Structure 1
Amino acid sequence: MRYLFSLLLLLTLSFTATASDVPDPFTSVQKTTDRLLAKLVEVQPLYEKDPKAFYKEIRTSLEPFIDFDGFARGVMAKYYRLATEEQKQKFAETFQTELIQTYSKALVEFDNQKIEVLPLEEPPKDGRATVQVNVYGKDGTVYPVVYSLVLVEGEWKLRNIVINGINIGLQFRSQFQNYMQKYRNNIDDVIANWNVDV
């Protein structure tokens, strides 16, 4: 599940539009998928020769598309109010680094699998849209994915993702809560031991 989540999120993290001519979410998702797959072909040789350079390339591609601070804030949920500014910043940085490395490893394993973006079942409404995608595994298994998108300043951006019925946003939040219990509400210990476990 970790590999599948990482791969899918990598391929559809942001859906760019312009304020004057906003494309439909389907087109945005399709173009973004094509763009990121092309990036994979370009940088994959770096993975074995220079992993740090590979991670840097992926980070550069992803940073404009993910609100890591907002993502981390949502994961911390109610505990965000209890954290110091330093802890908030540290967790956001730790969260970002862990995600980038997990995503990068997933990219290497992609190996030209098929991704099918399905036509919209319902038109966008109030700046929100849902796009369904089928991802085909190496063995032919079809994994249904649902993207929840929101239009922000002319750009379609990922707000949440459901993979095979599993709500990823809620998974991360639950993981943070479990870590808080495990480490007896010590946020510093949670940050020190955090890893993406999906």
Structure 2
Amino acid sequence: MTWFSALAVVAGASGTAFAQQAPDALVKQVSNEVLEAARADKSIQAGDVNKVMQLVEQKVMPHVNFQRMTSSAVGRYWRQASPEQQKRLQDEFKTLLVRTYSGALAQVREQTVQLKPLRAAAGDTEVLVRTEIRGKGDPIQLDYRLEKAGDAWKIYDVNVMGIWLVENYRNTFAQEISAGGIDGLIAKLAERNKASASAKS
């Protein structure tokens, strides 16, 4: 189970429908929905990347602050990027994550989501929701950082077995930007996405 499955299990049908839920209840309910959707779709089980990307767009992205996730991964260089560069970074980063980890949803069988106790005060606007994915083999640790945006909770970072997504990519992105600037990073992401698409076509 990889990062993509971590993000994918935090999907939901409608942000409005769950707006008033506590963050841990939201994670639990929508996690089950996505696991069920993956199990029921034979195309996803077969590793259809286009179907996975559709699922991400419809179910995952309404519950993710992807701009914050991307800007945090890019770090201090984000402010140096033009609006067009920022958009391209978000688009390429999202495609990279989906394509890299699309195989994880094809492996979904009988996994279930178990919540750990939420340690948060009533007025907190940022919380940590800790979960485990249980199935065959050892449990997989999946933790989520969420922020409250209006009435809704949005995910902005994911931890899989002790590795936070944003921090993991920040180091790599910094090296790419130091070598070739913002455009260099965009080009590298696009190159990886193209290579991944060719390998899976």
TM range (shorter): 0.7 to 0.9
2:2 aligned counterpart, secondary structure: helix
The reply on whether 1:144 has 2:141 as its aligned counterpart is yes
1:161 aligned counterpart, secondary structure: strand
1:63 aligned counterpart, secondary structure: helix
2:180 aligned counterpart, secondary structure: coil
Give the number of equivalent residue pairs: 190
- Alignment-mate amino acid for residue 24 of structure 1: A
Q: Which residue of 2 aligns with 1:191?
A: 186
Please report how far the alpha carbon of residue 58 of structure 1 lies from its aligned counterpart in structure 2 after TM superposition. Answer: 3.3
The answer for unaligned runs of 5 or more in structure 1 is none
The reply on whether 1:23 has 2:26 as its aligned counterpart is no
1:46 and 1:53 in contact (8 A); partners too: yes
1:102-117 maps to which residues of 2 (within 5 A)?
A: 102-117=100-115
- Which deviations, in whole Å up to 9, do the C-alpha atoms of 1:35-64 show, x marking residues without a partner? 111221343435649643443243222232
Percentage of matched positions with identical amino acids = 21
The TM-score with structure 1 as length reference comes to: 0.78
- Alignment-mate amino acid for residue 170 of structure 2: R
Q: Which residue of 1 aligns with 2:197?
A: none
Please report how far the alpha carbon of residue 122 of structure 1 lies from its aligned counterpart in structure 2 after TM superposition. Answer: 4.0
The TM-score with structure 2 as length reference comes to: 0.77
Match of 1:86 among 84, 92, 95: 84
Please report how far the alpha carbon of residue 18 of structure 1 lies from its aligned counterpart in structure 2 after TM superposition. Answer: 6.6
The answer for unaligned runs of 5 or more in structure 2 is 194-201
**Regions of 4+ moved over 6 Å:** none
Q: Distance in 2 between matches of 1:136 and 1:48?
A: 22
Query: Would you tell me which structure has more helix in proportion to its own residues?
Result: 2
Match of 2:154 among 138, 153, 157: 157
Q: Distance in 1 between matches of 2:79 and 2:119?
A: 39
CA 1:42–1:110: 2 relative to 1, 3 Å: closer
Match of 1:66 among 60, 64, 69: 64
